[in-house]
Amino acid sequence: MEEKVKVVIGHRLGKGQSVAKGVEAAGGIAILIPGIGADMKLGDVMNAEQADFGISFCGSGGAGAINANNKYKYPMVYGLRSVESGVTAIREGKKAIGFGFLDVEELGKSLTEEYIKLNKG
């Protein structure tokens, strides 16, 4: 049985449930970090879970992605504001992807589908 894509979600305000639903709708496993400041734990949880990629949300656009890159050297991008920019990041091989607040199901679904298409298809 093929392993499912693991996606870690860290949201500054402890949200991210909609993105998680999208990840699961695309056939992935969503690992939602609980609590306020969850975005800053992105790299630690990605490393512990051996995740395929992670999504960070905060007002500045992804401090958690920067932190994941600094600590674990995950290829990252931050400051994204649209689903399309996230899909592009997946195509470019980014593993830690930072967004402003964009907790929508379409984001999780689109990024997971793109990852599966490029890496598992």
User: 60-108, pLDDT tens digit by residue?
Assistant: 888 999 999 999 999 999 999 999 999 999 999 999 999 998 889 999 9
DSSP annotation string for 60-104: TS-HHHHHHHHHH---EEEEE-SHHHHHHHHHTT-SEEEESS---
Residue 1 lies in a domain: no
> Mean pLDDT score of the chain, rounded to an integer?
95
Tally the residues of the chain. Answer: 121
DSSP secondary structure letter of residue 32: E
User: 3-22, pLDDT tens digit by residue?
Assistant: 899 999 999 998 999 999 99
For residue 115, the surrounding DSSP H or E stretch is helix 105-119
Residue 53 lies in a domain: yes
Into how many domains does the chain fold?
A: 1
Residue 79, both tokens: 């400051």
User: 36-68, pLDDT tens digit by residue?
Assistant: 999 999 999 999 999 999 999 998 888 999 999
- Can you give the CATH number for the domain in which 60 is found? 3.40.1400.10
Per-residue pLDDT, 121: 66
Residue 28 lies in a domain: yes
Give the list of residues 6+ apart from residue 86 with CB closer than 8 angstroms, or none. 55, 80, 97, 99, 107, 110, 111
Per-residue pLDDT, 2: 67
> Which residues span the domain enclosing 28?
6-119
